[in-house]
Amino acid sequence: MRIGLYVSGAAHLALILWALLGGIFFTPEPAAAPIATNVSLMSSAEFAELEGRKPTAAEESPPQPSAPEASVAPPAKPKPETKPEQQPAPDVTPPEPEQPPEVEETQVAEAEVTDAPPEETTAPTPDSLSQIPDQPTEKPQPKAAEIVAPNPSPDTPPETTTSDTVTEATTAEPAPEATPEPPTEEAAPKDTGEVLLTEDNKDKKPETAAPATSPRPQKKPEKKPEEPKPAPVETAEATPEAPADEPSVNADDAVAAALGEALSGEASEEPKPGTGAADQGPPLTSGEKDALIVAVKQCWNVGSLSTDALSTIVTVSVSMGQDGKPDSGSIRMIGVEGGTDASAQQAFEAGRRAIIRCAKNGYALPPEKYEQWKEIEITFDPNKMRLR
Amino acid sequence: MRLSGGLKGMMSAALLGAVCWAAPATAEPLRITIEDGVIEPLPFAAPTFIDEGGAGDIARAMTDVIAADLQGTGLFAQIPAGAFISQVTSFDAPVSYADWKAINAQALIVGAVSNSGGRINVKFNLHDVFSDTTLGDGLQFGGGEGDWRRIAHKVADQIYSRITGEGPYFDSRVVFVSESGPKDARQKQLAIMDYDGANVQYLTDASAIVLAPRFSAAGDRILYTSFETGFPRIKLMDLATLQSRAIADLQGNMTFAPRFSPDGDTVVFSLENGGNTDLYAMSLSSGQTTQLTNAPSIETAPSFSPDGSQIAFESDRSGNQQIYIMPVSGGEPVRVSSGEGRYSTPVWSPRGDLVAFTKQNGGRFHIGVMRTDGSEERLLTASYLDEGPTWAPNGRVIMFTRESPGAAGSAQLYSVDISGRALRQVPTVGAASDPAWSPLLP
């Protein structure tokens, strides 16, 4: 009887030793493969036995493959990526010294130019007044934020500080319209400079107040939409009258007349149906219009205009590119009110300079509404400026 | 061939469809109105005119005069040469507009000067930088070497007129009273100079006090008031010969405040007779004198309208000095000044649209302008003592006398734009008063 025990004990011992020490000699290859196969076999066997239990096992198994995906492989990659980035970085620095010599060469060619650039920075100060509209929209905001932040944090209790911050916040909020801020800065010093000469002019400073925007809405409804209306009426009346008055109409005339009617009919229907407007996008908001007005007016310099030109209202049309820049060659005068031909020309040239000067970086117009501002008509009315 | 209305309608409908298919709907232009702008000097660049032979110093000097003329108007601001990105090396070389736009030069003046045997030739182009083109055609002027300043003024006049639309005025002269000595024993003599204070010449010596010189419309003669005999008397001087003679010697009465008519044949003036002062007119050709006013009040400082049909003058008939206008042919004067204070020395603008005047109110003096109907009065200056305005030939600028207070105070000449801007002192040697602006020189 005990022989069986010894045999079984020896067998078990051999099995244990095999399990413990056998891997030393044979482990690597069989160990990895069987483990993978075992996993697959386990899921299929359990799937055959119990249908309800397998999802839990299945859920546990997917995370393992998913884990290696997120397993830090990406994090490990960025590390090597950063390393190569650092390596090219030193490569970048050498090219920099290479560029300066190139610039120096150009500067050497024009020795005087090297002195000019630093002075340009001083000269642009007047320029910056005109260029401010585009860039300053961002500058005022960070400035306001920097000022507001330190103020409230130390002085949370006092209300007076909040009042200060409120005033600053109001100036900062119109950031989209913050472009007017630079002009006001321009107008103020310029007006004061101009008014210095006459003591009475000191009282006229309030004229620079902002209510200039109020009259603009009045010109939105042009009379042109009314013109197309009579057009279809004429066509309706023309058909009965045409045979009565002039029955002898040749084919060419008829085609021309029909084409005219068709074109007029098209023109009359354009403003009415919503399809065209839908293709052209919604009309510009008053804020978008005001932003354009502000951008143009700060380059509209009437300081060198004659007294006659200051009494001349000119309307200028300009075709715009999708980048918000005007086509300089398209700028033309389409209307004049008051003044002589010479004064109208002076007024037109001042308007043209304004349109071009302030469009160095393109006007801030919504690209999705390009069809609405592809063509712009600007009326320059200097009457208010004349009285300053 | 006749087409029925139905067929015509069908054709129009078909064409309408075709057009609608072919041409997408176009939006109406965006319309905006600009009513506010900026009032600032127009930046311009004036590189030193190129020396095209024998004109090195003159080229530089002419460039300086042109730039000074423009900048002195207050309507232009010169960009210093140090800010230039590119240089002009040849008159005919293409202009790199981008370089001038970068420094915000809105106008660029490119010129060249040559000096051949004492004769100067100047040519220039005015560029509208932001339009990438020239403003008008190029011009050139020629003259003697000694006239280089006048030539420079003419170039500046052309530039000024092309940009502003105003008439020229730099090439003009000013006759004035040069003063010397202490305030209580002032010596006065007539002098004439360029409008900018250069080229001063004295017309009389300091032996007799002289006052209120006035140019003829042609600029060849001047009227003035002299105290040679101890009391005021009108004299007429020919500027070509500097010979002068007394006129309007009417029975030994005091005559003063003379002024030419636009045609130069008539002189209006004030005559004091028995304590009363009235206006008179005298024809220089016939010597005939006509009394224009007859009132117990003081009427003086007459000034013709440019068309010669009316006369503006000052009178205290209402109790204090005010400005009146009356027809030359006679008639009841109409008072045009209506504000507080006293109004005097009215001078009609060469354009005929404005009257310049001296106003005294609240212990201060002003130079102002108003419409000929008295409306739109604007005071351009304010100081201890401003008086005696005179118009530039283009009617845009006014020169006047400003006297500083105190025993050490003296009179100086100032000019101001009718917008009230560009107030500046006119450089003179010593004290100066009573300026009279000449017409534009030929």
Tell me where in chain B the CATH 3.40.50.10070 domain(s) lie: 42-164
Chain Cα centroid distance, residue B417 = 9
For the segment B75-89, the average pLDDT, to the nearest whole number, is: 93
Q: B316 with B272: CB under 8 angstroms?
A: no
The candidate with the shortest Cα–Cα distance to A334, out of A357, A356, A318, is A318
Looking at the partner chain, which of B18, B128, B379 has a beta carbon nearest the beta carbon of A200? B379
Strand B378-379 to B386-391 pairing: unpaired
For the whole prediction, is pTM greater than 0.80? Answer: no
Quote the pLDDT of residue A65.
37
Residue B151 near residue B122, CB atoms below 8 Å: yes
Instruction: Tell me the mean pLDDT in the region B395-401.
Output: 96
- Residue B234's Cβ-side half-sphere holds a number of Cα atoms within 13 Å equal to 26
Q: How far apart are CA B266 and CA B263, in angstroms?
A: 7
Q: Give the H or E element holding residue A128.
A: helix A124-131
CATH 3.40.50.300 fits B42-164, yes or no: no
DSSP per-residue codes, A273-291? SHHHHHHH-SPPPHHHHHH
Q: Is the pLDDT of residue B420 over 50?
A: yes
CATH class for the domain made up of B173-437: mainly beta
Q: Phi and psi at residue B227, in whole multiples of 5°?
A: -110, 30
Per-residue pLDDT of chain A (388 residues; tens, 9 = 90+): 577 888 888 888 888 888 777 656 655 554 444 445 444 455 555 555 655 544 444 344 333 333 333 333 333 333 333 333 333 333 333 333 333 333 333 332 332 323 333 333 333 333 332 333 333 333 333 333 333 333 333 333 333 333 333 333 333 333 333 333 333 333 333 333 333 345 444 444 434 333 344 444 444 444 444 444 333 333 333 333 333 333 333 444 444 444 444 444 333 333 343 344 445 677 889 899 899 999 999 899 988 888 889 889 999 999 999 999 999 889 999 999 988 888 898 899 999 999 998 888 889 899 888 988 999 999 999 988 876 6
Cα B394 from chain centroid (whole Å): 5
Q: Which two tokens stand for residue B126?
A: 């005015």
Within 8 A of B396 by CB-CB distance, chain A residues are: 306-307
CB B181 within 8 A of CB B413: no
| Identity of residue B201 | Q
The answer to whether residues B56 and B120 touch, using CB atoms and an 8 Å cutoff, is no
Cα B440 to its chain centre, rounded Å, is: 9
Residue B361 near residue B373, CB atoms below 8 Å: no
Which ipTM did the prediction report?
Answer: 0.75
d(C-alpha A378, C-alpha B82), whole Å: 36
> Would you state the pLDDT for residue A23?
58
Rounded percentage of chain B residues whose pLDDT exceeds 70? 94
β-pair type (B201-202, B187-194)? antiparallel
Grade residue B1 by pLDDT with cuts at 50, 70 and 90. very low
How close does chain B come to A102, measured CA to CA in Å?
Answer: 18
Q: Which residues are within 8 A (CB) of B44 and not within 5 positions of it... i.e. 6 or more apart?
A: B70, B76, B77, B78, B79, B105, B106, B107, B108, B109
From chain B, the residues in CB contact with A203 under 8 A are: none
Return the pLDDT at B369: 96
Amino acid at A234: E
Q: Edge-to-edge strands of the sheet including B424-426?
A: B386-391, B397-403, B411-417, B424-426
CA–CA min distance A110, chain B (Å): 9
| Residue of B376 and A85 predicted with greater confidence | B376
Residue A387 has a pLDDT of 60
Q: How far apart are CA A246 and CA B203, in angstroms?
A: 85
Q: How many CB atoms lie under 10 A from the CB of residue A64?
A: 10
Long-range contacts of range A185-193, CB-CB < 8 Å, 24 or more positions apart?
A185/A129, A186/A129, A186/A298, A186/B38, A186/B40, A187/B36, A187/B38, A190/B38, A190/B39, A190/B40, A191/A388, A191/B39
Q: Which two tokens stand for residue A297?
A: 């007016």
Interface with A, mutate which of B40, B351, B384, B419 (most A CBs under 10 A): B40
B258 — pLDDT class (breaks 50, 70, 90): very high
Please tell me whether residue A174 adopts helix, strand or coil conformation.
coil
Other C-beta atoms closer than 10 Å to the C-beta of A156 total 9
At B345 the pLDDT is 96
Contacts of A356 in chain B (CB under 8 A): 130-131
Phi and psi at residue A291, in whole multiples of 5°? -60, -40
Please tell me the least confidently modeled range out of A159-173, B61-75, B104-118: A159-173
Which residues have C-beta within 8 Å of that of residue B84, sequence separation ≥ 6? Answer: A116, B45, B47, B99, B103
Question: Where are the CATH 2.120.10.30 domain residues in chain B?
Answer: 173-437
Q: What integer pLDDT is reported at residue A266 of this predicted model?
A: 39
Mean pLDDT of B246-274: 88
Among A113, A130, A131, A304, which would you mutate to test the B interface (most chain B Cβ atoms within 10 Å of its Cβ)?
Answer: A304
Residue B343 distance to chain A (closest CA, Å): 17
pLDDT computed for residue A321 by the predictor: 92
pLDDT confidence bin for B229, thresholds 50/70/90: confident
Q: Of A113, A219, A306, which is closest to B166 when you measure between CB atoms?
A: A306
Cβ-in-10-Å burial (0-12, 13-18, 19+) of B55 comes to buried
